[in-house]
Amino acid sequence: MKAERLVVMLVGLACATRVLAADPTANSNPVELVQLEGHVVCLAEEMHQRHGTELPTRHQHVWGFRTTNGMHYTLLEGKYSQAMFQDERVRAKTLRIKARLLPKSQVLEVTYFQSVKNGVPQNLYYYCEICAISTVSPEVCACCQAPVELVEKPLTGGPE
């Protein structure tokens, strides 16, 4: 009986090892943390302008990030990038972002962002005057459901 359990455990261990070895995401390519400066752009429009790709008159925007050195990345929509997807005022600004560059891709998951105005980093956030709550989301206030206002202030000792 003990020998049978041992065989079953060894077979299970061997199978698990094969699965881990076959998994291309199993820590062979860790996520890279990057800090980039540039602008949010529609990748479809950018590729049309730069490379003459086909672009229908009415097209879905594929939001990406063009760095100051001309690299293009695709943005994943998430908690910290939601403003870039929903607010054209944010897209119009020069931004400095911190993001996770996902393995074997040019895809960014934004973890922090700020604007840059005349070379000076700015806190960029939404604020509810009624509840005195700040957030990274352009959605209505989570507390009172009132609209929030976009605020841009020079960075003063916050995360960079």
Give residue-wise pLDDT tens across range 103-145: 999 999 999 999 999 999 999 999 999 999 999 999 999 999 9
pLDDT tens sequence across 47-83: 999 999 999 989 999 999 999 999 999 999 999 999 9
The answer, yes or no, to whether residue 3 has pLDDT greater than 60, is no
Q: What is the structure's pLDDT at 74?
A: 98
Q: Which of 20 and 41 is assigned the larger pLDDT?
A: 41
Arithmetic mean of pLDDT over the chain: 85
Q: What is the structure's pLDDT at 155?
A: 82
Q: What is the structure's pLDDT at 43?
A: 97
Tell me the CATH architecture of domain 32-154. Answer: Beta Barrel (2.40)
Closest to 97 (Cα-Cα) out of 157, 35, 154: 35
Give the span between the Cα atoms of 81 and 124, in whole angstroms: 12
